[in-house]
Amino acid sequence: MNYEEFHRHVRKAGLTLKEFAALICMNRVSLSNLKKKEEVPSHLGVIAALLGEMRDKSIDFHGVLSRIDIAPKRPRGAGRGGSFGGSKQGRLFPSPKPPPQPPTGRPEEK
């Protein structure tokens, strides 16, 4: 489903993207980012289409969804610099070692 069709179904359900995201425990920015990709994941398209149809048939989907324990999606993204967000692997770019000291030309003391 393309983004425009998805957005049409969300509006048909009488929701804004912010309300749709809150209803399914999703970050609204994640939904807005789908516009750049132009394609919407199938499961979100199905949910939006069903909510639109439920509203057309005067079925209260708010009550149905409020009875479901929907786990919020875990945030992804910004990890510390040089690593992938939250993975337990080592740093991709280790801290630089201090440069070696140039020899002084003096004999070493014992």
State the SS3 of 22-70. HHCCCCHHHHHHHHHHCECCHHHHHHHHHHHHHHHCCCCHHHHHHCCCC
Average pLDDT, integer, range 70-80: 65
| Residue 9 in this model has a pLDDT that exceeds 90 | yes
Position 49 scores a pLDDT of 95
* Banded pLDDT at 31 (limits 50, 70, 90): confident
* Banded pLDDT at 33 (limits 50, 70, 90): confident
**Which sequence spans correspond to the domains of the chain?**
3-66
pTM greater than 0.85: no
**Whole-angstrom Cα distance, residue 103 to residue 45?**
68
| Residue 6 in this model has a pLDDT that exceeds 80 | yes
